[in-house]
């Protein structure tokens, strides 16, 4: 399926059975695979201060007795109103984009979409409207049964993922997507094993291939690529108010805040040449945590980005559990590089091109240059 259609349409999902007109037969399957692949995006673990499932009810406690139906027919029930109020309040207090929204108008439009809602499930189309009005392409809502709703339409295209043919003095490592926590250490160790196998004294530099990395869990990715990335602060999560939370790599582990380890490898590898030149290869299918890995390299000396512009989900998400067990995912932090340059949008390469072969050759040519200019 991926070979037949390498385009991705990330779109709103409505009620079961509702179809968008005019879509080719393969699109819904591609959409589902892509959107679920970054359902565990770059959120900082709850223990380290970000919004997570411990924020169980936002600011609204669950009703002491939750009626299944109430109110008059044709009018929104009290239960439905309580539920939407919780959703809106969380968005208003925690969304990265909260300051640009007229919340009175926002609430009125969401209420209108749920004017006859009786059950909590009847409010889901209104929650979808709220996601659309929030204008956050990285936001999502997942019902207790696992039905996802998204914030709108975003097109991201995958390029060919064939391993490039490289000269022997150019090292190569690929960092792919990874979701969840089970197997995180093994994933990081596999990346470091790639690095160790390709490393030798005569390397002119490295190609770090992020093409097709749709995200997931950033922490094993950072722990794995750490020997090439280098130790120290790699970037920052930055809030609307300017609050910063650093992340980075040290001693075989990805870390956050004041150096607390998140994912670590058993035996960290150290490069034969410290601080090498690095060419980061991207395509339009790099998103979410994949973009976080890219941001970790931006601002690093002797580093350049080649290939295509990324998808544009370069924010960190918080996860909020609603009182019926549904989860609301919202962008809560910008990603910023080590120089504190903020992102949150598509990231454009130093040498943009949609031709993979051209991008690889540009990367090789730059790596083989005798001088090593800083970015």
Token look-up 């949008």 returns 345
Can you point out the beta strands (E) in the chain? Answer: 7-10, 140-142, 148-150, 154-157, 170-174, 205-209, 232-238, 244-250, 253-256, 260-264, 278-282, 303-307, 315-321, 327-337, 351-352
Query: pLDDT at residue 67 above 50?
Result: no
Q: Determine the 3-state secondary structure of 361 from DSSP.
A: helix
pLDDT tens-digit readout, 42-54: 333 332 323 333 3
Q: Which fold has domain 170-317+332-367?
A: 2-enoyl-CoA Hydratase; Chain A, domain 1 (3.90.226)
**What's the pLDDT score for residue 255?**
96
What residues pair up with 172 in beta bridges, in sequence order? 207
**What's the pLDDT score for residue 202?**
94
DSSP 143-168: -TT--EEESS-EEEE----PPPP--T
Q: How far is CA 180 from CA 216, 221, 226, in A?
A: 7, 12, 19
Q: Are 86 and 60 in contact (CB under 8 A)?
A: yes
**What's the pLDDT score for residue 258?**
77
What does the pLDDT average to over 234-247?
Answer: 94
Q: Which residues contact 170 (CB under 8 A, 6 or more apart)?
A: 203, 204, 205, 206, 207, 364, 367, 368
pLDDT tens-digit readout, 261-305: 999 999 999 999 999 999 999 999 999 999 999 999 999 999 999
| Token pair in block for residue 240 | 């609307």
In percent, the amount of the chain with pLDDT more than 70 equals: 78
pLDDT tens-digit readout, 188-206: 999 999 999 999 999 999 9
**What's the pLDDT score for residue 141?**
96
**What's the pLDDT score for residue 159?**
78
| Among candidate residues 226, 239, 230, 223, the one with its CA nearest the CA of residue 317 | 239
| Among candidate residues 297, 301, 249, 257, the one with its CA nearest the CA of residue 275 | 301
Domain residue ranges of the chain, discontinuous segments joined by +: 7-157, 170-317+332-367
**What's the pLDDT score for residue 41?**
35
In percent, the amount of the chain with pLDDT more than 90 equals: 71
| Among candidate residues 284, 307, 119, 131, the one with its CA nearest the CA of residue 213 | 284
Q: What is the mean pLDDT of the chain?
A: 82
| Token pair in block for residue 225 | 């690529």
| Among candidate residues 267, 239, 203, the one with its CA nearest the CA of residue 331 | 239
pLDDT tens-digit readout, 336-357: 999 999 998 899 999 899 999 9
What does the pLDDT average to over 210-215?
Answer: 95
Q: Are 308 and 353 in contact (CB under 8 A)?
A: yes
**What's the pLDDT score for residue 74?**
64
What does the pLDDT average to over 83-106?
Answer: 96
**What's the pLDDT score for residue 153?**
64
**What's the pLDDT score for residue 157?**
83
| Token pair in block for residue 375 | 């970015």
Judged by average pLDDT, the poorest of 60-64, 88-92, 309-313, 363-367 is 60-64
Report d(CA 58, CA 89) in Å as an integer: 8
**What's the pLDDT score for residue 19?**
39
Query: pLDDT at residue 57 above 90?
Result: no
Going by pLDDT thresholds of 50, 70 and 90, the confidence category of residue 229 is very high
Query: pLDDT at residue 3 above 70?
Result: no
Helices and strands (H, E) in the chain, number of each type:
8, 15
């Amino acid at each position: 399926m991926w070979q037949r259609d390498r385009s991705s349409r990330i779109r709103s999902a409505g009620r079961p059975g509702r179809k968008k007109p005019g879509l080719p037969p393969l699109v819904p399957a591609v959409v589902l695979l892509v959107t679920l692949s970054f359902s565990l995006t770059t959120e900082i673990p709850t223990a380290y201060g970000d919004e997570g499932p411990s924020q169980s009810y936002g600011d609204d406690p669950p009703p002491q007795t939750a009626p299944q139906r109430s109110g008059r027919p044709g009018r929104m029930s009290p239960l439905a109103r309580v539920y939407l109020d919780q959703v809106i309040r969380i968005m208003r207090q925690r969304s990265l984009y909260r300051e640009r929204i007229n919340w009175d108008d926002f609430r009125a439009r969401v209420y209108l979409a749920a004017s006859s809602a009786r059950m909590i499930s009847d409010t889901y189309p209104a929650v979808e409207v709220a996601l659309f009005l929030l204008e956050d392409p990285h936001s999502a809502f997942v019902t207790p049964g696992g039905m996802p709703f998204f914030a709108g339409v975003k097109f991201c295209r995958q390029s060919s993922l064939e391993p490039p043919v490289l000269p022997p003095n150019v090292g190569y490592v690929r960092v792919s997507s990874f979701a969840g926590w089970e197997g995180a250490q093994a994933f990081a160790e596999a990346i470091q094993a790639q690095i160790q196998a390709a490393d030798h004294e005569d390397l002119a530099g490295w190609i770090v291939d992020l093409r097709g990395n749709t995200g997931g869990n950033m922490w094993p990715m950072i722990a794995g690529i750490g020997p090439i990335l280098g130790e120290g602060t790699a970037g920052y999560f930055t809030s609307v108010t300017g609050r910063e939370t650093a992340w980075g790599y040290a001693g075989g582990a990805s870390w956050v805040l004041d150096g607390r380890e998140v994912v670590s490898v058993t035996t960290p590898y150290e490069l034969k040449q410290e601080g090498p030149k690095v060419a980061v290869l991207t395509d339009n299918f790099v998103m979410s945590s994949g973009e976080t890995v890219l941001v970790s390299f931006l601002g690093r000396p002797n580093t350049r980005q080649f290939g295509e512009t990324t998808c544009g989900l370069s924010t960190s998400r918080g996860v909020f559990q609603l009182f019926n067990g549904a989860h609301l995912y919202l962008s809560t932090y910008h990603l910023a590089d080590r120089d504190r340059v903020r992102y949150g949008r598509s990231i454009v390469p130093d040498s943009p091109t949609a031709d993979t072969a051209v991008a690889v050759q540009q990367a090789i040519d730059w790596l083989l240059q005798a001088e090593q200019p800083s970015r």
